[in-house]
Chain A
């Protein structure tokens, strides 16, 4: 018993970061956190006693054990075990986290192309490492993080907003032959870079490796020493500390790297890091009756490495009270505080692992044990002691289970066996938690709001499960991949307007660029263009972020209710919205919900106290961004590092944001939303906001990196689009998402003349638009990728091919302001009118007729044919095609 109580404490501790107010609420929080981040259960702990074996005995067939047993040298033992009546045999999988130590190294030297300095960052632990980095500029006092110039970015780098770059580390091997992951950054001597800042991110675990909760910093110019204020900079690299497993406190602080000199010097620095890696082992227990003595012989065998101790005892009844059985005990057995015995398992003679044989008197009900590894690590069975039944009735039980092994083995055939089991364990766990919560509530007859809360969490859970089932069904049944396609003959009924699709016939205009704030009267300038945009055929305009903001572009909002921005004041905003409504264009507000800049500092000088109309304190800030010392829960998504990330799991936060959006709808007249940086929080919250504010259209910016192999973009970007689809799914389809996948593939196809990329393995469009067209908002450029920022600019001169693609294809196309008011204007206008004339909508069908090296062609909705690329293509078929639009390397036809 005392073991179990010990372990109960542990399991409670592992939930602690999620607990908030009371025990009852802990159930809910635990649930929520599980919903969003199932991984938090396995990796969030910072103590060692986190092991729970799972027992899915039915999934292991007994012949597996037999095989294993026969490989041991204990032949006589094995024989007896095999030949006599084994009435119990079970293998318990053991999951063990082990801390693996490795190093991060940073090297600054002259690269191969002599002259230029090169910074190399690497790591020798396995993982999916990403360097998340940015630069500090000389004489720039604003943000510490800024994006490096284009030339410095290694291939495969992805800009993260406007302040950082993410570059995956590539596998290579060191001179000793160890596998290494490293990335090299070429420094540009001419650029005025003061320092490179970075953190190392492990995508597998989501862990960030920093030093002392702060970023790594490599100073390149040391003029700052004059400044004095930034003294720590000279202390450049201090020991890396791992945020999730920070118990490795090492002493080698800045043993090198005192770069006081004024000129740049090469250096090499290593930082030890530790990472938790999961290992799977198992323990097999078999019990047989010794025919001579009528005693039970219990054989324990495990493949755990190193010294394994078994703490054990017996019990006489169902209370499972530990008792010490009578002697004789196996060799190397000691009594442990008079309550249990501790026996060292003997190493097997052949093969890894160890085993032990125990003789148990008759008349005992069960055998209880836990395992202890040499490092003081305890292993138990799902938080309980392992329990092995010994009595006759239990042997019957075990037999009847064997009778069922027929069906159990079927499951085993399934390759996904284990995964499935754990999945079902996971979901049924959720269900059970919810159930217990509900029954708890109803049995106590608590107040109304409690049962409402319970219901809400249940409904949320149902939605989660349905979304999961949906995504698997969608992707596993090819015939169901496309959504039911509306017959082209019948127009979509207006009743089908939903926030995820609008009417289905929307064409968006992004109504600003990165410079639009400069005039200070952008709203008024836009207003003058309203009727023009309407006549071009646009139905929706995306307006810039309207709130007061730390940055002039508006993406660093502070007081959400202050709508006087660099684009104009609140009255001008209302006026421009009204004007667009008059010309029949709907307006989207750019809502920044992921982060919010603070008004005040807390007692540590960290900016995380909010003022203005919505006064939040640090509880509104996520806890896992070290920059801002939030006291909320962990983020349900990725973090944006330049401002405090809002903790959307807090009810008060969501309530305030819902109210704000409703207020914007009513007060300003916005018809819908463009949602900034939705990677930062769970899509389920977006659904909440959208249901509350009931927009006519909503689109989220879910921007992450495409997959590359050796610097070359992979043909198959299913993983990338799946992530976007998963997000849409999490919003329950209430929001569309920008089709970043399509843009990325267009880049490669056009830039390198690889038009074959535009057909996926199944002959469908390779972007989000190929899988979920009605929720895909296609675009080729926006204020971040293009404009004066140019983070990921569309291949120059090929914009019209891009527009030909997105304006003839399903999905909801977006045209960037800069392109409309450029020399492309008339060509874009022609394409829009082809789209409108032929009633191409977000769900139109696409038949790809050609996808070769130099030409891509498709027929959309049976009435429009298009081709892009220098190669030749003419549509054929029974229809009569007439040319509708034409330009450099593109042609569009329609049926006449």
Chain B
């Protein structure tokens, strides 16, 4: 019924209304269902547009589960635009620890702005320490569901990051009951050579140990994911299109090797190995004995620099004759990185199996440890758990592991360019990124890009564009992140420019047809509408 109206030439005012109606329910299932339900909502032509719109979208929710798979399969999504799909991260503290939506009005306005800009969706960090705060298996999703609803109402997609770590700024701790366990048993945390614990996430060595009141962390993560899946089932595959699994510190698959932050202006040091908690040492000892070198299993290497020192301040990472290049070095580094990769594999296969029937893509994030890349030993990568040196490719196995679990890889640092790195850190984000991308391409792993610095580095947007438009391995970019700075006059105009140029690289052209395309394309409006009409 609606389609015929559209084709006829009605009075203008009526026409705009009709057009609006389709668009008001941007969410495809909403439209299809609402229409198939014979437009139960008052639809008389005198609608005040905006109010009816709200009403309509509210109704749209109800029909969620019924038709979700049919209309909006992943295939439509990935084809929705030729270029890159752009997401923007929501504030880390978008949901407060008492499960309310923080600055909801700002987020609501922000979502609309993003939608108008043509941004595809938003990324929402979901914190273990908020959802399962009080007691094990006691989940409170309300704040996140409310937020997901806001996202849905805004007609945006949602990518959820499950965060099994804590955050310092803003302060979001681990669940209280986990911290309590940690107080009595600090060995559940990563530990460095000096015996300092890193209390922002659990050590990978306890993955399968029943340290959490008789449950293993893997079980706890798994139940969390299951609970998430059932709570978010109304959004799954429609609004919710991606889930990234928290894999370690800051959600990244790595050791917290650099957590002793140096002062901002200083050159980052090499970091330290984090294999000194009781369980790690135990595994190391076993492994050493099994390979017949029991003396190598007594601890980590002795000749390493401390956190903020440079590679040459001790023997291990030296370019020439450093012990990394010795049989012992190979023994230790292989073991150290294998532990990390099996940890990643455990979590990603868990996530992949949990979310296998849902249409959402599962992702994992790996770090871009780019400082000291220009040395032979790549110390920053080694301490973080990536056995990648000038003589050994450490990312092949990682990419292979992602491919095995059909997971997408999130790669940060797309905004970093070599020329803006401090010279002394011998860093090269661009080369490292190229290495990782190569490994991904080889194993058919799709990459989702992110930027690293909170405030855009000079030339950051240009660099991102270069990374995105050059090759087609990156089909999605998640821009970090919404907040006061994001919308500030210093930043937002350049972001707007970035988005527009991303969607429409030939922006400068004066051609008339292109202008038209842009108007439609950047708003993603008319084309979407017609898609929906056909779907009905």
Give the CA-CA distance A138 to B486 in the complex, in Å: 58
Instruction: Render A376-388 as a binary contact track against B, CB cut-off 8 A, 1 for contact.
Output: 0000011111110
* Residue of A with least CB distance to B495: A466
Give the CA-CA distance A455 to B39 in the complex, in Å: 31
B516: Cβ under 8 A from any A Cβ: yes
Contact in complex: B47, A439 (CB < 8 Å): no
Contact in complex: B50, A425 (CB < 8 Å): yes
Contact in complex: B485, A484 (CB < 8 Å): yes
B153 contact set on A, CB distance < 8 A: 424, 428
Taking each of A434, A435, A443, which has the highest tally of chain B beta carbons within 10 Å of its own beta carbon? A435
**Smallest distance from the beta carbon of A64 to chain B beta carbons, Å?**
17
**Smallest distance from the beta carbon of B57 to chain A beta carbons, Å?**
8
Q: Given A410-B146, A465-B112, decide whether A442 and B62 contact each other with a Cβ distance below 8 A.
A: no
Q: Given A410-B142, A428-B53, A438-B520, decide whether A472 and B23 contact each other with a Cβ distance below 8 A.
A: no
B298 contact set on A, CB distance < 8 A: none
Q: Given A318-B39, A473-B483, decide whether A383 and B103 contact each other with a Cβ distance below 8 A.
A: no
A8 contact set on B, CB distance < 8 A: 45-46
A606: Cβ under 8 A from any B Cβ: no
Contact of B515 among A5, A448, A484 (CB under 8 A): A448
Contact in complex: A473, B46 (CB < 8 Å): no
**Smallest distance from the beta carbon of A316 to chain B beta carbons, Å?**
12
Contact in complex: B49, A433 (CB < 8 Å): yes
Contact in complex: B519, A454 (CB < 8 Å): yes
Contact in complex: A472, B106 (CB < 8 Å): yes
Contact in complex: B106, A4 (CB < 8 Å): no
Instruction: Render B327-371 as a binary contact track against A, CB cut-off 8 A, 1 for contact.
Output: 000000000000000000000000000000000000000000000
**Smallest distance from the beta carbon of B169 to chain A beta carbons, Å?**
8
B132 contact set on A, CB distance < 8 A: none
* Residue of B with least CB distance to A320: B44
Taking each of A57, A410, A433, which has the highest tally of chain B beta carbons within 10 Å of its own beta carbon? A410
B211: Cβ under 8 A from any A Cβ: no
Contact in complex: B146, A411 (CB < 8 Å): yes
Q: Given A5-B46, A455-B519, decide whether A393 and B487 contact each other with a Cβ distance below 8 A.
A: no
Contact in complex: A382, B55 (CB < 8 Å): yes
Contact in complex: A434, B58 (CB < 8 Å): no
> Which chain B residues (97-149) contact chain A, with CB distance < 8 Å?
99-110, 112-113, 115-117, 142-143, 145-146, 149
B283: Cβ under 8 A from any A Cβ: no
Give the CA-CA distance A413 to B523 in the complex, in Å: 34
Give the CA-CA distance A332 to B94 in the complex, in Å: 54
Q: Given A436-B19, A473-B483, decide whether A442 and B519 contact each other with a Cβ distance below 8 A.
A: yes
A492: Cβ under 8 A from any B Cβ: no
> Which chain B residues (202-248) contact chain A, with CB distance < 8 Å?
234
A440: Cβ under 8 A from any B Cβ: yes
Contact in complex: A448, B516 (CB < 8 Å): yes
Give the CA-CA distance A896 to B42 in the complex, in Å: 76
Give the CA-CA distance A332 to B388 in the complex, in Å: 87
Contact in complex: B40, A442 (CB < 8 Å): no
> Which chain A residues (1-47) contact chain B, with CB distance < 8 Å?
1, 4-5, 7-8, 11-12, 23-24, 27
A385 contact set on B, CB distance < 8 A: 42, 44
Contact in complex: B100, A439 (CB < 8 Å): no
A383 contact set on B, CB distance < 8 A: 46-48, 51-52
Contact in complex: A423, B42 (CB < 8 Å): no
How big is the B interface, by class?
35 or more
> Which chain A residues (444-461) contact chain B, with CB distance < 8 Å?
445, 448, 451-452, 454-455, 458-459, 461
B529: Cβ under 8 A from any A Cβ: yes
Contact of A429 among B51, B58, B455 (CB under 8 A): B51
A476: Cβ under 8 A from any B Cβ: yes
Contact of B492 among A419, A437, A470, A483 (CB under 8 A): A470
A359 contact set on B, CB distance < 8 A: none
B110 contact set on A, CB distance < 8 A: 465-466, 469
B38: Cβ under 8 A from any A Cβ: yes
Instruction: Render A56-84 as a binary contact track against B, CB cut-off 8 A, 1 for contact.
Output: 11100000000000000000000000000
Interface majority SS (helix, strand, loop, mixed), chain B: helix
A601: Cβ under 8 A from any B Cβ: no
Please tell me which stretch of A115-123, A400-408, A612-620, A630-638 contacts chain B, meaning at least 4 of its Cβ atoms lie within 8 angstroms of it: A400-408
A445 contact set on B, CB distance < 8 A: 516
**Smallest distance from the beta carbon of A449 to chain B beta carbons, Å?**
9
Instruction: Render A459-500 as a binary contact track against B, CB cut-off 8 A, 1 for contact.
Output: 101110111111011101101100110010100000000001
A426: Cβ under 8 A from any B Cβ: yes
Chain A count of residues within 8 A CB distance of the other chain: 96
A389: Cβ under 8 A from any B Cβ: yes
Contact in complex: B20, A433 (CB < 8 Å): yes
A414: Cβ under 8 A from any B Cβ: yes
A835: Cβ under 8 A from any B Cβ: no
> Which chain B residues (493-524) contact chain A, with CB distance < 8 Å?
493, 496, 512, 515-516, 518-520, 522-523
Contact of B109 among A54, A437, A468 (CB under 8 A): A468
Q: Given A465-B116, A476-B106, decide whether A435 and B484 contact each other with a Cβ distance below 8 A.
A: no
* Residue of A with least CB distance to B22: A439
Contact in complex: A437, B16 (CB < 8 Å): yes
**Smallest distance from the beta carbon of B83 to chain A beta carbons, Å?**
19
Contact in complex: A462, B113 (CB < 8 Å): yes
Contact in complex: A320, B20 (CB < 8 Å): no
Give the CA-CA distance A17 to B146 in the complex, in Å: 39
A733: Cβ under 8 A from any B Cβ: yes
A55 contact set on B, CB distance < 8 A: 51, 55
A734: Cβ under 8 A from any B Cβ: yes
Contact in complex: A432, B58 (CB < 8 Å): no
**Smallest distance from the beta carbon of A549 to chain B beta carbons, Å?**
33
B37 contact set on A, CB distance < 8 A: 393, 397
Contact in complex: A423, B492 (CB < 8 Å): no
Contact in complex: B62, A404 (CB < 8 Å): yes
A338: Cβ under 8 A from any B Cβ: no
Give the CA-CA distance A54 to B51 in the complex, in Å: 7
Give the CA-CA distance A381 to B51 in the complex, in Å: 9
**Smallest distance from the beta carbon of B529 to chain A beta carbons, Å?**
6
**Smallest distance from the beta carbon of B486 to chain A beta carbons, Å?**
8
> Which chain B residues (358-400) contact chain A, with CB distance < 8 Å?
none
* Residue of A with least CB distance to B107: A469
Contact in complex: A429, B49 (CB < 8 Å): yes
Contact of B100 among A12, A414, A463 (CB under 8 A): A414
B488: Cβ under 8 A from any A Cβ: yes
A461 contact set on B, CB distance < 8 A: 116
Contact in complex: B487, A4 (CB < 8 Å): no
Contact in complex: B484, A420 (CB < 8 Å): no
Give the CA-CA distance A470 to B516 in the complex, in Å: 30
Contact of B489 among A11, A489, A733 (CB under 8 A): A733
**Smallest distance from the beta carbon of A256 to chain B beta carbons, Å?**
46
Give the CA-CA distance A455 to B503 in the complex, in Å: 14
A249: Cβ under 8 A from any B Cβ: no
Give the CA-CA distance A410 to B231 in the complex, in Å: 14
A572: Cβ under 8 A from any B Cβ: no
**Smallest distance from the beta carbon of A526 to chain B beta carbons, Å?**
33
Contact of A459 among B44, B48, B112, B496 (CB under 8 A): B496
B54: Cβ under 8 A from any A Cβ: yes
Contact in complex: B19, A473 (CB < 8 Å): no
Give the CA-CA distance A437 to B16 in the complex, in Å: 6
> Which chain B residues (50-72) contact chain A, with CB distance < 8 Å?
50-55, 57-59, 61-63
Give the CA-CA distance A23 to B57 in the complex, in Å: 27
Instruction: Render B273-298 as a binary contact track against A, CB cut-off 8 A, 1 for contact.
Output: 00000000000000000000000000
Give the CA-CA distance A57 to B265 in the complex, in Å: 54
Give the CA-CA distance A12 to B14 in the complex, in Å: 12
A452 contact set on B, CB distance < 8 A: 515, 519
Give the CA-CA distance A393 to B146 in the complex, in Å: 27
Instruction: Render A711-755 as a binary contact track against B, CB cut-off 8 A, 1 for contact.
Output: 000000000000000000100111000000000000000000000
B16 contact set on A, CB distance < 8 A: 27, 433, 436-437, 440
6 contacts between A and B (CB under 8 A): A436-B17, A441-B519, A442-B516, A468-B105, A473-B484, A480-B484
The 5 closest A-B pairs by CB, nearest first: A429-B50, A733-B489, A8-B46, A472-B106, A470-B487
